[in-house]
Structure 1
Amino acid sequence: MCGRLNVIDDIFVQALMEELRINNSDEMLFSRFKMPTNDISIVREHNGERSLQTASWWLLQQTTYDGFKPSRFTSFNTRFDKLNQPNSAGFNAFRESRCIVIAKGFGETEKNGSSYIYHDFVAENAAIAFGGLYREWQHPRTGESRVSCSIITNPPHPDLLPYHSKASPMILPKDEAVMDAWLSPENQQVDMFDELLKPALRHDFIAQQIDKPSLHNAIGKPSRLIPNDFLASQCTTTE
């Protein structure tokens, strides 16, 4: 789920960075095609300041002799039902190091027999704020530091079932109180995020089938995906 990101430089991405009060928006890593293990930009908060941080899109890292490499355990996504399981990869990060991943769109892959079907989704008149987690690593021999991240996935969304039947990305509502609570490292009251662990797309999307993510040749005409998520988009945090 959510194995590709589209992070283009458009007015809606820029507006979302401004709304989030990011102090180094010129450092955003733009690319139409970001895939797991690539470096991406995450939004994190430290000492009351919000900034972009470059992170490896694979939460679990393995130490090598002179650096790091992605763990053999798949971790570019973190499942919602693992967040409250002690000793899981995302348990502590869900409480202490949440982040936001800004994107214009995302990609889904669905297996069809022995082949795969690829679709890309682009938010209409909006940018997406994915709910994410990050971890910080320091190499015991070289002292190198690295930040890694994942995007949280929720149960499948009914409107995404024709494209991907296993999960849907956590998309945060455009609500200042939610964003503030999510990014605050001091806030460990994760029960206030229970409503976010339910499938919600929150934006209208243009869906386009493609041949391969790397080639990005369109197959057929695009279609509009208009989810019935009005109530979900109004989600607010509660004490």
Structure 2
Amino acid sequence: MCGYIEVNGKQQSTMAFPKREIVNQFTSRLFKRYYPAFGQDPNKTIDIIIQENGELKQVAATWWFDCLDSYEGLHLGKRTTFNARNLESPYWQYALQYNRAIVLGTGIGESKVVGKTKHQYYMQSDEVFVLGALYRKYSEGRYSCAVITRDAHPKMEPYHHKAFPCFLPIDDPFLKRWLSQSVQQHPEINKVLNFPTLYPTLKVQRVKTYKDKVPYQSFSPVILHSDLLINQSSG
């Protein structure tokens, strides 16, 4: 599950990576935090990057895929769809082929029930990372979306053992392919979806709330190193 995302554009500049033009272009210099649209609130939106008419654009999408359109705006469905997990389901197939999106972040929140207590963990990166998402478009320029999750990653299991956010490679060639509406399937896309990879290095801290990030002193911060570092060292 991925139920909290934040992006701190002031925290880390990505301009040191000229080949990451998409991330550089859309990284806000502001601090933003995003929560799913619990409580049937369509105004709980998250910034997603999509391609329309051959152009990349950033739009605000209700973080709840299952929505109904109306003259008054979007109404949330009863199906819990802030994450897209079972991508083999027909429910997700059209969006997976034609409406892929990305979300930029520098931190995420995960949780795990230990005994009878819910432990919340804030995971922060020193640079902007990219998450895969799916979206729908409605009338009047309205959108809804879900963040893709995959099978649990071994490094993440101590903090959330059921699913793993779908981190994406940050390089432009892959992101252009991922966002292209003319690319329904591609071996590189299938590889990313079928073999979940921790692209960023994350610092994990148990916190009382994601918003305030007050740490538990009994929990020593843990560093989850990027899988890319391990692959490079082993190569």
CA distance in 2, matches of 1:229, 1:22: 21
8 Å CA contact 2:46–2:60 kept in 1: the answer is: yes
**1:131 is aligned to 2:132:** yes
Deviation at 1:177, TM superposition (A): 2.0
CA distance in 2, matches of 1:117, 1:146: 34
Report % sequence identity. Answer: 29
**1:184 is aligned to 2:180:** yes
Deviation at 1:111, TM superposition (A): 1.2
Deviations 1:71-120 (CA, angstroms, capped at 9, x unpaired): 211111101xx32332x1x2101111111100011010111233200001
SS state of the match for residue 41, structure 1?
A: strand
Alignment partner, residue 2 of structure 1 = 2
**Which structure 2 residues correspond to residues 100-119 of structure 1 after superposition, within 5 A?**
100-119=102-121
The count of aligned residue pairs is: 221
**1:54 is aligned to 2:53:** no
Deviations 1:175-227 (CA, angstroms, capped at 9, x unpaired): 32211110111111255422111221112111111012244211124221114
**1:174 is aligned to 2:175:** no
**1:151 is aligned to 2:150:** no
CA distance in 1, matches of 2:186, 2:228: 22
Deviation at 1:21, TM superposition (A): 6.8
* Compared CA separation, residues 12 and 51, structure 1 to 2 (3 A): farther
Q: Normalization by structure 2: what TM-score?
A: 0.83
AA aligned to 1:132 is A
* Compared CA separation, residues 2 and 24, structure 1 to 2 (3 A): closer
CA distance in 1, matches of 2:159, 2:191: 24
* Compared CA separation, residues 194 and 232, structure 1 to 2 (3 A): farther
8 Å CA contact 2:14–2:23 kept in 1: the answer is: no
Unmatched 5+ residue regions in structure 1? 139-143, 234-239
> What is the aligned counterpart of 2:88 among 71, 76, 84?
84
Q: Normalization by structure 1: what TM-score?
A: 0.82
* Compared CA separation, residues 11 and 213, structure 1 to 2 (3 A): closer
SS state of the match for residue 194, structure 1?
A: helix
8 Å CA contact 1:21–1:50 kept in 2: the answer is: no
* Compared CA separation, residues 112 and 166, structure 1 to 2 (3 A): same
SS state of the match for residue 165, structure 1?
A: coil
* Compared CA separation, residues 130 and 114, structure 1 to 2 (3 A): same
8 Å CA contact 1:23–1:50 kept in 2: the answer is: no
CA distance in 1, matches of 2:27, 2:211: 27
**Which structure 2 residues correspond to residues 197-208 of structure 1 after superposition, within 5 A?**
197=193, 198-208=195-205
> What is the aligned counterpart of 1:218 among 191, 195, 215?
215
**1:162 is aligned to 2:158:** yes
SS state of the match for residue 123, structure 2?
A: strand
How much is the aligned-residue C-alpha RMSD, in angstroms?
A: 2.6
* Compared CA separation, residues 232 and 64, structure 1 to 2 (3 A): farther
